[in-house]
Amino acid sequence: MQKPRLAIAGIVAAVLIAVPVAFAVGAHSRGPSQADLALIDGVIRLVESDYVHPVGSHKLTEDALKGMLSRLDPHSGYMDEEELKQSRADITGKFGGLGIQISEEHGVPKIISPIDGTPAVHAGLQPGDLIVAIDGTNTQGLDLTEIVRVLRGQPGTSVKLTIARGSQTPFDVTLTRSIIHVQTVKSMLEAGGIGYVRITEFAGDTPADLKKALRDLKAQAGGKLKGLVLDLRNDPGGLLSSAVEVAGNFLRGGKVVTIKGRHQSDNVTYHVSPGSTVLPDTPMIVLINGASASASEIVAGALQDRHRAKIMGTQSFGKGSVQTIIPLNGQGALRLTTALYFTPDGRSIQGQGIAPDIVVDVPKEQQVAGAVLPRESALHGAFRNPGPLGKAGQQGHAETVRAIARSAPIQTQLIGSDQDAQLKAAISYLTEAGKGTTGKG
């Protein structure tokens, strides 16, 4: 039986996990030995009978699954039924919560990016902030999915976060939960007929929203854009299928990404048809930074390898693995790393990321003082880079990058604003280059 699946290509950020498929046991599975099963059963019985407080076997089983999956790599995990329900809400882009994307650093949740227009932005939360307590309860060592469960809730209810930011003294922030409706595509027409499109994550409706945005920009520009800036900064990824469709808007067909799994049947090369393109020749700049991950890196890598766009900014996050969500017949779901992906030229970005063609750093005054974001290679248990299409690779450097601050007033995003130095550099490049980055894809 072929294992049904939905591939996820994003940072395991827990506030925005992704979505379900039907469960089937893989044909390659041999199962645990009787001795292993006996050991697990024996330990559960001992805890049930002798632990200082009563603990049910179901709770112990769930915790055992969480421990087993989390030890594999930074992005695999077990979700109970409530967490699976949350993941379904994530993929619709509408849920009750605060509007933050988080990862884990040394056992403490760290904010990757607040989502535009949400309580997190209005409260002034910044990329790189550490959430050290929630309603007075220390977060050290808590599972990210459990933290998400606590952060979410009924709109109108409040939650108090204790934030550690750089070298500052930790401080409390009270946020009121609201319905988070994630608008993943934002666009505007810049001076000189240059279009600007920002993708904040790769959700199910992102490709359709992008096509509409591109067509609207062309209409606003009198039928033809002179250039396009595709902004993937602070985009943690999302659905693999969305990344492929997004890339198809700019390519005249052909290869986007190759997936290589453990078994031959898992190996797939994703192509797009020539008919999917909206802007096949418009000169392009793609903006990336250290928080551009996975699906973002798929798109940036494809456009770079196909000589369709110049990549500008700083080195990307370096997450080159794909997770599959496998529901377990009413008993939650696995989020399992099942493959690595490779760019059209066969490059793996795992632990290394996409290197920009044009390096443009964030000005010092626009960085969050003392705050840094880890790269994939710095995460505990991260995979080594396998090299080009399975050849021997090397471990990426465990680097960190400076987080981008928000401009004043605090509700205003620096990214995409008139103070955005990297965006200014991209527009200037397209203006001066004329035909510069046109490619046949």
pLDDT tens digit sequence for 315-349: 999 999 988 889 998 889 999 999 999 999 999 99
CATH of the domain at 106: 2.30.42.10
Is it the case that residue 204 has pLDDT exceeding 60? Answer: yes
Q: 124, 152, 181: which is the final residue of a domain?
A: 181
Q: Which residue has the higher pLDDT, 274 or 93?
A: 274
Tell me the residue range of the domain where 336 lies. 185-433
Question: Could you confirm whether 294 is annotated as catalytic?
Answer: yes
Arithmetic mean of pLDDT, 410-424? 75
**DSSP states along 58-86:** HHHHHHHHHHHHHTT-TT-EEE-HHHHHH
Q: Are 238 and 295 contacting, i.e. CB atoms less than 8 angstroms apart?
A: yes
Classify residue 392: in a domain, yes or no: yes
Q: Are 230 and 287 contacting, i.e. CB atoms less than 8 angstroms apart?
A: yes
Per the residue annotation, which of 113, 129, 319, 321 is the catalytic one?
Answer: 319
Helices (H), 6-56: 34-50
Helix, strand, coil in percent for the chain, rounding step 5: 25, 30, 45
Arithmetic mean of pLDDT, 259-263? 91
Tally of CA atoms within 13 A in the half-sphere of 72 that contains its CB:
16
pLDDT for the residue numbered 132: 96
Same structural domain, 159 and 191:
no
Classify residue 23: in a domain, yes or no: no
Classify residue 441: in a domain, yes or no: no
Instruction: Say how many C-beta atoms besides its own lie within 10 A of residue 154's C-beta.
Output: 9
Same structural domain, 242 and 124:
no
Q: 181, 213, 239: which is the final residue of a domain?
A: 181
Same structural domain, 256 and 122:
no
Same structural domain, 213 and 174:
no
Same structural domain, 172 and 241:
no
Is it the case that residue 148 has pLDDT exceeding 70? Answer: yes
Same structural domain, 225 and 166:
no
| Segment among 30-44, 332-346, 361-375 with least mean pLDDT | 361-375
Tally of CA atoms within 13 A in the half-sphere of 33 that contains its CB:
3
Question: Could you confirm whether 273 is annotated as catalytic?
Answer: no
In 3D, which of 142, 127, 139, 158 has the Cα closest to residue 11?
127
Same structural domain, 177 and 207:
no
Same structural domain, 164 and 198:
no
Per the residue annotation, which of 187, 305, 310, 377 is the catalytic one?
Answer: 305
Length reported for the chain: 441
Question: Could you confirm whether 377 is annotated as catalytic?
Answer: no
Q: Are 123 and 177 contacting, i.e. CB atoms less than 8 angstroms apart?
A: no
Q: Which residue has the higher pLDDT, 185 or 435?
A: 185
What is the count of structural domains for the chain?
A: 2
Same structural domain, 302 and 244:
yes
Q: Which residue has the higher pLDDT, 333 or 90?
A: 333
Q: What is the C-alpha to C-alpha distance for residues 52 and 59, in angstroms, rounded to an integer?
A: 15
- CA 279 to chain CA centroid, nearest Å: 25
Indicate the SS3 state at residue 418. coil
pTM: 0.77
Per the residue annotation, which of 242, 292, 294, 296 is the catalytic one?
Answer: 294
Same structural domain, 303 and 213:
yes
pLDDT for the residue numbered 402: 55
**DSSP states along 87-104:** HHHHHHTEEEE--EEEEE
Same structural domain, 210 and 109:
no
Q: What is the C-alpha to C-alpha distance for residues 90 and 94, in angstroms, rounded to an integer?
A: 7
Instruction: Say how many C-beta atoms besides its own lie within 10 A of residue 211's C-beta.
Output: 17
**pLDDT classification of 260: cutoffs 50, 70, 90:** very high
**pLDDT classification of 92: cutoffs 50, 70, 90:** low
pLDDT tens for 4-35 read 445 666 653 323 222 223 333 444 556 788 99
Classify residue 396: in a domain, yes or no: yes
Lookup result for tokens 């928000």: 406
Q: 181, 206, 241: which is the final residue of a domain?
A: 181
Instruction: Say how many C-beta atoms besides its own lie within 10 A of residue 228's C-beta.
Output: 26
Classify residue 15: in a domain, yes or no: no
Same structural domain, 146 and 231:
no
Classify residue 42: in a domain, yes or no: no
Tally of CA atoms within 13 A in the half-sphere of 77 that contains its CB:
17
pLDDT for the residue numbered 28: 54
Classify residue 351: in a domain, yes or no: yes
CATH of the domain at 260: 3.90.226.10
Classify residue 25: in a domain, yes or no: no
Q: Residue type for 208, please?
A: A
- Contacts of 32 by beta carbon, 8 Å cutoff, 6+ apart: none
